[in-house]
Structure 1
Amino acid sequence: MAVRKQYKVNINLALCKSCGICYWICPTKTITKGELGRPKVVDHKTCIGCLMCENACPDFAIDVREVEAVKEDA
Structure 2
Amino acid sequence: MAKVKGAIVVDTQICKGCEVCIPVCQEKVIAMSSEVNRKGYHYAYMKNPEACNGCTNCGIVCPDRAISVYRVKVST
TM-score of the pair, normalised by structure 2: 0.77
When you count helix as a share of all residues, which structure comes out higher? Answer: 1
Amino-acid identity (%): 27
Looking at structure 1, the residues matched to 61 and 69 of structure 2 have their Cα atoms a distance apart, in angstroms, of: 12
Secondary structure of 2:50's counterpart equals: helix
Poorly superposed stretches of 4+, deviation over 6 Å: none
- Which residue matches 2:18? 19
Q: Which runs of 5+ in 2 are unaligned?
A: 36-41
Cα distance in 1 for residues equivalent to 2:22 and 2:47:
12
The 5 A counterparts of 1:22-33 are: 22-33=21-32
SS for the counterpart of 1:4 is strand
Specify the SS of the correspondent of 1:6: strand
Distance, in Å, in 1 between the alignment partners of 2:25 and 2:2 is 23
Match of 1:54 in 2: 59
**C-alpha RMSD of the superposition:** 1.6
- Matched length: 70
Q: Following the alignment from structure 1 to structure 2, what is the Cα–Cα distance between the partners of residues 21 and 14?
A: 17
- Which runs of no fewer than 5 residues in structure 1 stay unpaired? none
2:68 aligned to 42, 56, 63, which one?
63
* Residues 16-42 of structure 1, C-alpha deviations (whole Å, 9 max, x = no match): 000001112211011112216421103
